[in-house]
Every structure is written in C-alpha cells, then in structure tokens.
Amino acid sequence: MAVAAPTQTMNNVEAVRATLYEALKADPRTIVLGEDVGARGNVFLITKGFIEEFGPERIVDTPLAEASIVGIAVGMAMEGLRPIAEIQFADFIYPAFNQIVGEAAKTRYRSNGDYTCPLVIRTPYGGGVRGALSHSVSIEALFYHVPGLKIVAPSFPADIKGLLTSAIEDPDPVLFLEHKRTYRLVKGEVPTGRYTIPIGKADVKRAGDQLTVVSYGLYVHQALDAAARLEGDGMSIEVIDLRSIRPMDKGTILESIRKTRKLLIVHEDNKFGGIGAEIAAMVAEEAFFDLDAPIRRLCGPDVPAMGYAAPLEEEFMISTEQMAETMRELVRF
C-alpha cells in the first residue's frame, strides 16, 4: 500500500522557522545573527525560542549595524562557519551593500577559490503591509546584476523550506528574499524531514497553453488567482514561479513560451531595469520568432517607493484584476 509522504500545513513564517531550526539542529557551524533575533525572536517571531534552545553564541543579537551584520558573517564564512545573517527589513540592507556586492560576492573570485563565502542573507521584502517608504521595498534588481551572488525568492512554504535548505548548504553567498505579505497569508503542505530544491529551478505552478506568465513572490499567488478566473472564460494560462532570480531558469521559460507563444512578466519591483527587463531581453534574443505578441510587463511604477496612505500603496501594487485584464488582452492579441 502506497503511503503518502508525511506533510505538515505551514504558513511561510513557519516554513522559514522550521528550516532554520532544522539547520541549527543539524550543523553546529550554523550561526544566526541579526537585529532582534534573540530574546524577541525576530520581529516576525521567526526565531522565537531559538536563543533559549541554541544559546546566545549561535543566536546573536547584533548591534544596530547592517554593514557589519553582513561583514562579520562574511568573516565567519571565510573561516568555515555557516552564518545566516538577517537584515530585519530589506529596506535596511543599503548600509550592507558594500559587504554584499564588494566583499561577499567577490571573495571566491578575487582569491581564485582560495577563500569562499558560504553565507545566507535572509530579509523580508515587499509591500501590501502599509509599510510605506522604508518597510516595503523590493531590492532584487539592485543585486541581481552582481556575479558571485545568488538570489532566491520563493513564496510557497514547501519551496521556502527546500530552497532555504539549499541556500544554507550552498558554497556561495545567497540572498534569500521573503515576501512579508505572504508570511501569514500563504499556507501550504510542507514535507517533513530534510529535502532540498535546487537553486536556479523555476516551477510551473499552473499549466496552460495560451499565455506564459512569469512572476515571483506575492504576485505568483495573485497571478494564479487571475488565471483561475480566466479559466471560466476558456483561457488557458501557464504560470511560472521563478523562485530563483540568479541563477534564473532559462529552460523552463523558453519551453513554456514555445508552447504558448506569448509572455507576460509580473513583478512588484520597479519596471525600469527590473528583473522583467532581463527576461524580456533574453526571450527577444532566443525566442523572438516563437512569439505571437509583444512581450508585456506588469511591474511596480518607477517611483522611489509606495506611499503610506492606502491609496498610494494601492496605486503601487498591482491588483489581481489588473493582472487578469492584461492576461485577457494578451490571450486575445
């Protein structure tokens, strides 16, 4: 008699928490460091109780100093520990830019492999939580230009567990982005026990043959809702969750486009120079003659950030209705 693999229902916070817990249990070289990760258990309670179980040497409440949260983690990683640094909100990562881009991403390269930097930097990003200018930004485009870094942004609990485990075990620095709006909104079944999902592998969350939608983060969930609505109108839409931003899964994107012949890219980050620009350029280079419609992008507007007032935030965020409307236009094109 076949027995289904045991699973557990979790939201995204619980998935991050369970994965960190298992990593700390599995490897004494693993250190969690960041602001308020100890007694407070992280501002989203992801590490609640960890300091009691693993001690203050492994769950390190750092001073309020983002550059050195990453910089100290780089030194730990260079000397063989497996640090998991937390930047409390992605908006606070800017002081650490040099340590991420100038140091972590270049350690292996500049030493020609003598030193490596197996480091994970976790940070919650994204809007829809009334976080305004400094608690809502998307930062991925600032970093995905950087060789030497990996960037992962899953938004389903099972993907979070598999990819965070991969990130922690990865021999190179990984920026692990957690969309904070999905933290408690998104729930799903998560296999128990250790497993990994390879970094750089997208996932077709919904199969279809009239339009390919590529997204990541919160908007994958909305895109799935929109696609489900359009199914009633006889439209068949494929939704790809990138999950990894660098490296990015070219094969899954191209395979889908060669089937659907149309592409819509949806992301919350600003449009100009965003992830969608690179995807569109790649598709134009590699699959131009497979396309039956211009590539479309639905992205955040090119303003510095979403405002605090509800109408300003709503104007920044893309609604499921907007997604459905654009999908409808493309299918009918």
Partner 1 sequence: MSDTAVANMPAVTNEQSLTLLRNMLLQRAVDSRGFQLNRQGKIAIAMGSEGHEAAQAGTGLAFERGQDLLYPYYRNTGILLACGFPLADLFRSQFARVTDRTGGRSIINHVTAKGLGIASISSIIAAQCAHAVGAAYKLKYLKETGRAVFCQHGEGATSEGEWHEAMNFAAIHRLPVVFVCENNRWAISTPQSKQMVNQDVAAKAGGYGMRGEIVDGFDPIAVYQTVREARDRAANGGGPTLVEAQCYRFLSHTTDDDDRTYRSREEVETQRKLDPVPRFERRLVEAGVINEAALAALRAEVSATVNATTDAIEAEPLPPAAGLYGNVYEGPDDPWA
Placement of tokens 């998991």 in the chain: 84
Query: Is residue 106 near partner 1 by the rule CB under 8 A?
Result: yes
The piece of 41-49, 246-254, 266-274, 320-328 that touches partner 1 (CB under 8 A) is: 246-254
Residue number, 150 or 297, with CB nearest to partner 1: 150
* Residue in 41, 126, 131, 148 binding partner 1, rule: CB under 8 A: 148
Assess 273 for contact with partner 1 (CB under 8 A).
no
Residue 41 Rama label (left phi>0; alpha psi -120 to 50; beta): left
Q: Which residue among 112, 233, 288, 311 contacts partner 1 (CB under 8 A)?
A: 112
Segment contacting partner 1 by CB under 8 A, of 36-44, 92-100, 131-139, 311-319:
92-100
Give the residue carrying structure tokens 């990541």.
216
With CB under 8 A as the contact rule, the residue among 3, 4, 6, 113 that binds partner 1 is 113
CB of 249 to partner 1, least distance (A): 5
| Calpha distance 105→180 (Å, rounded) | 25
Shortest Cβ distance from residue 281 to partner 1 (Å)?
12
The CA distance from 180 to 186, in Å, is 10
Of the candidate residues 251, 292, 294, 301, the single one contacting partner 1 (CB under 8 A):
251
**Using CB under 8 A, which of 188, 191, 247, 307 touches partner 1?**
247
The footprint of partner 1 on residues 165-224 (CB under 8 A) is: 171-172, 199-201
**How many C-beta neighbours within 10 Å does residue 297 have?**
18
Per the rule left: phi > 0, alpha: psi between -120 and 50, beta: everything else, 45 is left
Distance CA 243, CA 248 (A): 9
Output 96 or 226, the one with its CB closest to partner 1: 96
244 touches 151 (CB < 8 A): yes
221 part of the active site: no
Q: How far is CA 144 from the centre of its chain?
A: 12
Q: Minimum CB separation from partner 1 for residue 112, in Å?
A: 4
Single-letter residue type at 42? N
**Residue 108 touching partner 1 (CB under 8 A):** yes
Residue 70 C-beta: closest distance to partner 1, Å? 8
- Please tell me whether the peptide bond between 157 and the residue prior to it is cis, using omega within 30 degrees of 0: no
CA atoms within 13 A on the CB side of 43: 10
The residues annotated with a catalytic role in the active site are: 135
